[in-house]
Chains A and B, each alone.
Chain A
Amino acid sequence: QVQLVESGGGVVQPGRSLRLSCAASGFTFSIYAMHWVRQAPGQGLEWVAVMSYDGSDKYYADSVKGRFTISRDNSKNTLYLQMNSLRPEDTAVYYCAKSLGSGYFNSFDYWGQGALVTVSS
C-alpha cells in the first residue's frame, strides 16, 4: 500500500534552516509529481511547492519563494523540502502529498502523516 512518511520536523529559531524528508513506498515514485502542503495551528491548508516526476521543474507559493527549495531523489524514493530563513509564520504541520499523475494539473491521492515545524526563539 502507498505510504508517505515525513521526518525532520522540530523546533528551530527564526532565521535558521531545516530540511524535511518524505520517504515514499508502495508505488513507482519516479513517475509521479509530488507536493508539499502545510497547515498552521488551527488554520486551513496551504499549498507550498510541487516538483515534477523527474525533478526538472518546480513551482512554489509566493510565501516561500526564494527561501524554500523542493527536491527529490528518485533512487531513494524520497522527497525533500529545504527551508531556509525560517520565520515564525512558517510554523505548521508540513504534509507531503502524491499527485494523481505525472503532470502538474492533477489533484492528490495520498498524504503523509505530517511533520511539525515550530519556528520560535
Chain B
Amino acid sequence: DIQMTQSPSSLSASVGDRVTITCRASQAISNYLAWFQQKPGKAPRSLISAASTLQSGVPSKFSGSGSGTDFTLTISSLQPEDFATYYCQQYRSYPLTFGGGTKVEIK
C-alpha cells in the first residue's frame, strides 16, 4: 500500500497568512494526487485533482503543486472560511489512501 504523510498535522495561522501544507507519498505516484477540505460535522469537499487542477467552483487562492512523491497545497491568503482540516489522497493504485490530515486553526 502507498502511505501518504502530511505535515504539519496542525498549524495556527492568522487571516491573510499564506499557508502551505505538504504531502509525501511512500512511492512515486506521478500526479495522481487530490486534496480535500473538511469542516467539523460536514462532508469533505474536493479542492484539487491531478496535483494542481482546481475543481469547479474552488477559488483561485487554493493551489497545488508537485509530482512523484512530494506535493504541496497552498492557500494564498487565509480567510475565516478556510479554517478546516485538509487531506491529501493518492489514486495511483489501490487501495486508495489518504494522508492523516492537517488541521488549520485560527491563531
Contact = CB atoms under 8 A, between A and B. Distances in A.
A binds B: yes
Given A107-B46, A109-B55, A45 B87 contact: yes
B45 A111 contact: yes
A37 to B, nearest CB: 8
Interface of B: 32, 34, 36, 38, 43-46, 49-50, 55-56, 87, 89, 91-92, 94-101
B45 A44 contact: no
Given A45-B44, A45-B87, A95-B44, A107 B34 contact: yes
Contacts of A111: 43-46
Given A44-B99, A47-B96, 6 more contacts: A37-B44, A44-B87, A47-B97, A95-B44, A108-B46, A114-B43
The secondary-structure label for the interface of chain B is loop
A26 to B, nearest CB: 13
Contacts, number: 57
B42 to A, nearest CB: 8
A105 B55 contact: no
A33 to B, nearest CB: 11
Contacts of A95: 43-44
A113 interface: yes
B95 A62 contact: yes
